[in-house]
Structure 1
Amino acid sequence: MISVEEQLARVLAGAAELPHETVPVDAAHGRVLAVDLRSAIESPRDANSAMDGYAVRRADVRGASPDAPVALRVVGEVAAGSGHDPVIGPGEAVRIMTGAPVPADADAVVPIERTADADWAADPVRIAEEPAPAAHIRPAGDDLGAGELVLPRGIRLTARALASAVGAGVGELDVVARPRVAIIATGDELAEPGAPLARGQVHDSNSLLVAALAVEQGAVVVHRGRAGDAPGALDAEVRRVLEASVRPDLIVLTGGVSAGAHDPVTRLALEFAKVAMQPGKPQAFGRIDGVPVFGLPGNPVSVAVSFEVFVRPFLAVLQGLDPTRPTERAIADEAWRTPVGRRQYQPIVAQRVDGVLHVRPASDRGSGSHLVGRLARAEGFAVVPAEVAAIRVGDEVEVMLG
């Protein structure tokens, strides 16, 4: 057997970041930013009001107080989005709303609550407070200066990141191309989801599982199909994928990588390995016509673990991301056995108690890799080193969440 690290090194040896493309900002959610994004503008563009009230000249309201309010004639109004810049002369004020550009003649804003009448209809308005210099005025560039770094390259663009990009005056973003993934589930036993099952059949959950996991990692699925165990069936399906108008960046096969007499993946020109891990011991990887091909085991939990350990890092590298998976320490609330000499990836459920992460196995029916019905409960994996024979209650374990 080889180690997980050895197999991962084989997988990542030829992986490289995909080309970049430019997309509208409203089509960039979930994409990976290819270059640093700097602000195209000052934001806000103009000094604007932080309050609803009156734009004033401080010289006109010196000494204003509730006991000695200063009356000013109202000569205009500015709302948010207005391009109007009314002139403010001595003894005058302008009504102003939150977010509205501050008139050039004003050097402070007095909230309406700081007027004697607190009434928009009042004219003259009686200012009952002497404002501080630039009171309630947000200066131009208060949020971002032109050319300021807004987003670093290599981040996945979230809703908040996109809002920042738009606020920086950007309408298009340079992003890494989305990896194109083709998926083929193998086996005569596979039936369409929801179809009645004949004796010996199971529903094909693997192709949907891999497709959804790939999309979660920023990929786009360009093919999802099945191939039976008959000689030539898988070769024909792979050839169909490779000759399609949209060529994939990788192909993921599930099932048929073990030593069974009818395992079809073993007929392909891939490199097969027994990896010291559980589940997911049988693995295959190679290239067909230059396209990377993963051969994952057929049991659903093995598929989920193998995707996490090998396919996800590969997709990360294609998108210019760090393939390393963050982990944290947790306390085991239940005991479980581990396989001798193999690293275990135990599906777990987790909860935090007083800030401490606690975990237990997701399945109450053991750690069988066929237990797809319990897979939905899993919130991550506990990663148990090969030299650990068993996990006891209270042991500290390393976990990958999400």
Structure 2
Amino acid sequence: MRSVDEHLTDILGSVSALPPLELALLEAQGAVLAEPVTAPVPLPPFDNSAMDGYAVVAADIAAATESAPIELPVVGDILAGDPGVSAIRPGLTARIMTGAPLPAGADAVIPVEWTDGGAAVVRVARPAPPGNYIRRAGEDVLAGQVVAAEGTRLGAAQLGMLAAVGRARVPVRPRPRVVVVSTGSELREPGEALGPGQIWESNSYMLTAAVAEAGGVGYRQSTVEDEPAKVLDVLRDQLVRADAIVTSGGVSMGTRDVVKEVLSGTGTVEFHKVRMRPGKPQGFGLLDGTPIFTLPGNPVSAYISFQVFVRPALRAMQGLPAEPMPTVSAVLAEDVKSPAGLRHYVRGRLAFNRGFYTVTPADVQGSHQLGSLSAANALIALPEDAEALPAGTHVEVMRLPS
């Protein structure tokens, strides 16, 4: 058997970052920026009003009170987007809208709520210091400042930032397109009636969702029966739309482990036993240049194998560090046992109390027991040399996507 680290190293040595392409902003959502973006101008590009109100000279209203308001003539209106160059002199004011450019000579903005709202003459009932309710040019972003670094995943806020600096298109590493295929003659689609010995297929739904959580675009392929020629045809058909393929089932030591049968010796695909539980039988290689991950058929084995091996590879394909799921150190709330020589991924519930994390192992840990996985929010990663750990031991915990 090979170790988890050896198998992952082999995988990461065979995948590479997808070539960048230029996309319109909304098409780039969820993709990873392939180069840094800088601001061509400061933001805001000019001093402007943060409120609807009046642009004033602060010294003119220094003595204003509720009982003795200051009266100022209103010389005009300044609107957001006003292209004209406006100015006021001491003793005068101009009505100004939020986002409108501050007129020359003014050094403060008085919100309309501090006044009587006059159109020709306004009565100001409160003083204000210079700079009051003024957004200064460049106070958000300076010209030339990097507003999105290479390797940034583009979400809503990042897309807004790129639009704010005038970018309509950006170069990105695209989200990997991943086709997910489950094999097994016993599998039926959810919603169909079950016959003797049949079960509803769940792995492909789970893994397709996991692809999306890892930043990829998942495509679920219909379940394939255990017929070698049919399995190989389906896999080859997917190559035209896939940056990677993930299969589940058919990789162990059974007489009808069809994925292993049809892919052994095909391309660079190899099958190994990995020193881990669950998920010992694993396969990986390139099928006509496309990475293919062949995962076990037991649901928990398939899911944990995805998080340990496929997720880091998909990150590498996006030009990101090939990191595992986020991990924290936690204190075991109960004793746990682990098989010697295997890295054991134990389902559990992670909690944060009084400044530190605690984790409670699930009551059942069978590789077919999806219920305990769906209720878990963490995997306790027990090292190969840990056979029995008492409550109170500090352990590494992988946080599952919520």
2:78 aligned partner, one-letter code: V
Aligned twin of 1:220: 217
1:298 aligned partner, one-letter code: G
Aligned twin of 1:399: 397
Local SS of the residue matching 2:366 = coil
Under a length normalisation based on structure 1, what TM-score does the superposition of the two structures give?
A: 0.91
1:374 to 2:372 alignment: yes
Deviation at 1:97, TM superposition (A): 3.1
2:244 to 247, 250, 261: 250
Structure 2 Cα separation of the partners of residues 194 and 27 of structure 1: 34
1:172 to 2:169 alignment: yes
Percent identity over paired residues: 43
2:170 aligned partner, one-letter code: L
Aligned twin of 1:283: 282
Structure 2 Cα separation of the partners of residues 377 and 83 of structure 1: 59
Counterparts of 1:224-373 in structure 2 under 5 Å? Answer: 224-242=221-239, 244=240, 246=241, 248-267=242-261, 268=263, 269=265, 270-325=269-324, 326-362=326-362, 364=363, 366-373=364-371
Paired residues, what number? 393
Aligned twin of 1:389: 387
User: Per the alignment, do residues 121 and 234 of structure 1 end up closer, same or farther by CA in structure 2, a change over 3 Å counting?
Assistant: same
2:394 aligned partner, one-letter code: E
User: Per the alignment, do residues 258 and 84 of structure 1 end up closer, same or farther by CA in structure 2, a change over 3 Å counting?
Assistant: same
Residues 54 and 110 of structure 2 are in contact (CA less than 8 Å); yes or no, is this contact kept in structure 1? Answer: yes
| Uncovered stretches (5+) of structure 2, i.e. residues with no partner | none
Structure 2 Cα separation of the partners of residues 331 and 394 of structure 1: 5
Counterparts of 1:96-111 in structure 2 under 5 Å? Answer: 96-111=96-111
Aligned twin of 2:145: 148
Deviation at 1:105, TM superposition (A): 3.5
Local SS of the residue matching 1:207 = helix
User: Per the alignment, do residues 130 and 281 of structure 1 end up closer, same or farther by CA in structure 2, a change over 3 Å counting?
Assistant: same
1:33 to 2:33 alignment: yes
1:166 aligned partner, one-letter code: A
Structure 2 Cα separation of the partners of residues 89 and 231 of structure 1: 87
Residues 337 and 391 of structure 1 are in contact (CA less than 8 Å); yes or no, is this contact kept in structure 2? Answer: yes
1:379 aligned partner, one-letter code: N
Structure 2 Cα separation of the partners of residues 131 and 213 of structure 1: 55
1:8 aligned partner, one-letter code: L
| Uncovered stretches (5+) of structure 1, i.e. residues with no partner | none
1:54 to 2:54 alignment: yes
Deviations, residues 108-157 of structure 1 (Å, cap 9, x unaligned):
2234455xxx2102743244556434333222122112221111111212
Local SS of the residue matching 1:55 = strand
Local SS of the residue matching 1:262 = coil
Deviation at 1:296, TM superposition (A): 0.6
Structure 2 Cα separation of the partners of residues 68 and 233 of structure 1: 90
Aligned-residue RMSD, C-alpha:
2.1
Structure 2 Cα separation of the partners of residues 207 and 58 of structure 1: 66
1:401 aligned partner, one-letter code: R
Residues 49 and 135 of structure 2 are in contact (CA less than 8 Å); yes or no, is this contact kept in structure 1? Answer: yes
* Greater mean deviation of Cα atoms: 199-208 or 74-83: 74-83
2:244 aligned partner, one-letter code: L
Deviation at 1:29, TM superposition (A): 2.3
Structure 2 Cα separation of the partners of residues 192 and 303 of structure 1: 18
